[in-house]
Structure 1
Amino acid sequence: GGAAPLDLGQLAGRAAADPTLEPGAPRSAIPGAVPSTGSTGTQAVIAASPRDEYNAALALIQRRDYEQAEIALRGFLQNHPRDRLVGDATHQLGETMFQRRQYREAAEQFLKVSTDYPRTARAPSSLLRLGQSLNALGEREAACAAYAEFNRKYPNANASTKTAVVSEQRRASC
């Protein structure tokens, strides 16, 4: 949607001042709260730490709720721009877009990881996904360049990612 990311500091003040929210009222009534499933259905989670906020977004990805995951990840990135998880969160944001076939937007996020956070654990996967996104956009030469960059930049990447790059290179006729 078009909603801006939530400022959790303002949220606490709004929630405390809202007479419609009784102390036992469900958190789902709080605008912008991150949904999560519990044994009672959908409830909202107010993250206690940046790691909790990131993990809540990952849970949405695991449930394949990519739109809500994108919202949660954008909120995380706005709320914690200097956190050590920013590179991984940026990759996961790209993944939400890739899964919804928003390849141009996904490519932008994966490129950001590759250029701004090249040492994060997700950087090799981001370069692979960048190539896949570019290939899906019909940008075969750029995709092949991304795959070649992967081989140069991450010679010690895990075997499964290396195998995927080789497969994608063949698929793109690099």
Structure 2
Amino acid sequence: PAAPTPAPAAAPEVRQPAPSPASVTPGTPASRRGDATVPVPQLPSMNGTPQPAQGSPAATMPAVQPQPYPATTPAPAISSSPRTENAEYQAALQVVRSGRTEEGIQRFRQFLQQYPQGKLAPNAEYWIGEALYSQGKLQEALGQFQAVSSRYPAHHKSADAMLKAGMTMSRLGDQQGARQQYQQVLALFPKSEAAGKIRSSGIGR
């Protein structure tokens, strides 16, 4: 009998070599490597906030810029006006000259509290003494006149204060003290109105 014909041998299976790590470009998304099932990860932004996915509502919304707080306007500094100081001084002086001496004293004291370093402070101190003198409060008036000449020795009102201090001492019976006050006026303020009154009246001898 004839020998059986042998079956044809199967062709050998050709295997594709696996890509080496060097053949894959770094940074290539997985979807481009042929693996469609691996999602592309989202990289965080530089400031640490995740970037929204493309096409999402958050990606299309404009960024909201913070609004600055409105600037506050500083309150204007309160300063005393020379016109106001003069007006208040004249008002208090008018009260004293009208005979309302107690009210005038209070107004001048309020004036000194408001303008302790004002240019009219020596005048206000003097007129408090004048008001006390007209009330017959001689000891208080003497202390006030002496305070003017002590606090403001170079001020022209100091000459008037020393003259009235001498007159007050004379009424209190201190004639020697009164003459000393008059002589100080003549020595320190020889050209003042107070010195002229002393010379014309002869009380300085």
TM-score w.r.t. the length of structure 1 is 0.64
Q: 1:165 to 1:91 in 2, by over 3 A?
A: same
Instruction: Spell out the pairing of 1:146-161 with structure 2 (5 A cutoff).
Output: 146-158=181-193, 161=194
CA–CA distance in structure 1, aligned partners of residues 84 and 166 of structure 2 = 33
Q: Note the residue ranges of structure 1 that are not aligned, 5 or more in a row.
A: 1-47
The residue type paired with residue 86 of structure 1 is A
In structure 2, distance between residues paired with 1:70 and 1:168: 32
Q: What is the TM-score of this pair, normalised by structure 2?
A: 0.55
Flag the structure with higher helix content.
1
**Aligned counterpart for 2:137 among listed residues 78, 102, 124:** 102
Is residue 88–residue 120 contact of structure 1 (8 Å, CA) maintained in 2? no
Q: CA offsets, 1:139-171, max 9 Å, x none?
A: 11111111111111111113xx3343242626x
Separation (CA, whole Å) in 2 of partners of 1:80 and 1:50: 7
Residue by residue, what CA displacement relative to the aligned partner does 1:116-137 show, whole Å, maximum 9, x if unpaired?
Answer: 1123232211111010011111
- 8 A Cα contact 1:88 1:121, kept in partner: no
The equivalent of 1:127 in structure 2 is 162
Unaligned runs of 5+ in 2: 1-82
Asked if residue 79 in structure 1 is aligned to residue 114 in structure 2, the reply is yes
| Distance in 1 separating the partners of 2:195 and 2:181 | 13
Q: Distance in 2 between matches of 1:107 and 1:53?
A: 25
Q: Give the Cα–Cα distance (whole angstroms) in 1 for the partners of residues 105 and 121 of structure 2.
A: 14
Q: Which residue of 2 aligns with 1:9?
A: none
Q: Which has the higher contact order (CA 8 A, sep 6+)?
A: 1
Work out the CA distance in 2 between the residues paired with 1:73 and 1:82.
14
> Which protein shows a greater Rg?
2
Query: In structure 2, what residue type is equivalent to 1:79?
Result: Q
Structure 2 Cα separation of the partners of residues 168 and 116 of structure 1: 28
Deviation at 1:53, TM superposition (A): 1.6
1:140 equivalent to 2:184? Answer: no
Would you say how many aligned residue pairs link Structure 1 and Structure 2?
122
- Detail structure 1 runs of 4+ shifted over 2 Å in the superposition: 118-121, 161-164
Counterpart of 1:57 (choices 92, 110, 129) is: 92
Distance in 1, matches of 2:190 and 2:122, equals 20
